[in-house]
Amino acid sequence: MLVIIDGWGYRVEAAGNAIAAARKPSWDALWERWPHTTLAAAGEPVGLPAGQQGNSEVGHLNIGAGRIVYQDLTRINLAIDDGSFQRNPALLAAMTAARDGALHLVGLVSPGGVHSSSAHLTALLEMAKRVGVERVFIHAFADGRDEPPSSAAGYVKDLVDEIQRIGTGRIASISGRYYAMDRDKRWDRTERAYRTIVEAEGPTAPDPVAFITQSYARGINDEFLEPTRIVPPNGDPAPAIADGDSVIFFNFRPDRARQLSHAIVDERWEHFSRARRPRLKHFVTFTEYEKGLPAEVAFQDEPLAGVLAAVIADAGWGQFHTAETEKYAHVTYFLNGGREAPFPREERLLVPSPKVATYDLQPEMSAKPVTEVLLERLAGGRDRFYVVNFANPDMVGHTGVFPATVRAVEVVDEMLGRIAEAVLGSGGILAITADHGNAELKVDPENHPLTAHTQSPVPLIVAGAEDVTRLRDGGKLGDIAPTLLPLLGLRPSAEMSGDDLRS
């Protein structure tokens, strides 16, 4: 059984460390008893630029692939560097068509590199200027989770400066990602963003930076900025997305871009009423957000071959993947290398995440129901391989509320104890790891709450494999599958270039 604890980084220092502050007898006993090591989960060892924090998508891709997977962020950066970005057929077609209408650039304005990159938006503006698009409107989303909670004012000011330098573009609206990037089917949130961006409804503000700083003064940080149109004093309001326009959604990570994309272009949309649905000339997404979404994709990607789940399937074994809503895509689509459909004899079960505004209000999330589902499946004896994700340390950690994050860690520890008893008691092998750091560092150098992921390594424990006495240091997430498969009597696939960490 492979247990992936989201956001459980490894850090020795106790200050600001919710994992160190938590009471976790199950974890401590497993760490003490069984071979363990730490793995790189950020930067170049997982296919990201050096110094770039890890994230759930990247982590699960590398774990499942058994090798370094070069990420969309890296691929797009390389396209900008070698000039092919400016010749990208999907982007070029959208911009050329927009010379007769308007171009709308939609996405997260942040240098964070988790869902988007400000450098990519700059490249789009420079391309629009070169192509001759005169009417360019930016619908900016504020972060506050993968970046500090009050950093958007600075990032938007930087964007304003870039607009002036390049000579094209205008900020038309601002929305916190809580609304514009919901992925948990909270349709009321998506609706708020849609009404602002597409139907030009809702509150207005004269200046984007002033709007953000005034929101801070009212206790509203970046993630929760209310969807607002930017209407300069004595100026024309930016138009809504209209018939004949082109839209480029420049988030490269799919999961939090899907709902709004469907609302804009899906003819069969039924989750809230739309006063109008513009007939666009082009709707371009940086990557493929979802099969069947009516969009042109700028940077196509092929599913990875030879992933962990494929090796299990090729052996004719049953396998079971489960998680709650927030991380379900990660133990299915991402872990399986970008493959939507299950492999033969792979079964999946989604456990709904609780419907709360923020997870510090319920740090238990759905850890207990996930565990119940998993243990019931284990008792049935139908499968040879199991994978489960616990979302709590990451999702609660993103709130920046330290006591709640401590509680999240303790809840997961309780579930680990139950799982370890069941797996080890039946003679199975239990591997426990994480996809990236978060809960181990919850304050910044000024002692302010930290909501973002970290560059910390993550732990790996292999319990129940009596012939494994030691795990080598210096590994990475892509070494997990090549280490575990031989313990099951299976050979890693030819595509797996990761190392076997057994000594």
Any idea which residues carry the catalytic annotation? Answer: 56
Contact between 500 and 479 (Cβ < 8 Å): yes
Instruction: Decide the pairing of beta strands 458-463 and 2-5.
Output: unpaired
* Residues contacting residue 191 through CB under 8 Å, at least 6 positions apart: 263, 271, 272
398 HSE (CA, 13 A, CB side): 23
The backbone region for 200, taken as left when phi is positive above 0, alpha when psi lies in -120 to 50, beta otherwise, is left
Contact between 321 and 335 (Cβ < 8 Å): yes
DSSP conformational letter for 51: T
- Nearest CA to 134 out of 156, 91, 166, 158 is that of 166
Integer CA distances (angstroms), 363 to 124, 359, 478, in order: 39, 6, 30
For the record, the structure tokens of 48 come out as: 């990201």
For the record, the structure tokens of 276 come out as: 């109008």
* Rounded-to-integer distance, Cα 202 and Cα 54, Å: 35
- Nearest CA to 278 out of 87, 182, 137 is that of 137
- Nearest CA to 473 out of 9, 38, 35 is that of 38
- Bridge partners of 321, per DSSP, are 348, 387
Contact between 139 and 197 (Cβ < 8 Å): yes
* Rounded-to-integer distance, Cα 53 and Cα 22, Å: 24
- Nearest CA to 387 out of 374, 403, 405 is that of 374
Which amino acid would we find at residue 242?
A
Question: Strands of 204-205's sheet, edge to edge?
Answer: 204-205, 228-230, 170-176, 136-142, 103-108, 246-249, 282-285, 296-297
Element (H, E) at 106: strand 103-108
Which amino acid would we find at residue 379?
A
* Rounded-to-integer distance, Cα 62 and Cα 45, Å: 9
DSSP letter for each residue of 240-273? PP-TT-EEEE----STTTHHHHHHHH-TT--SS-
Contact between 126 and 166 (Cβ < 8 Å): yes
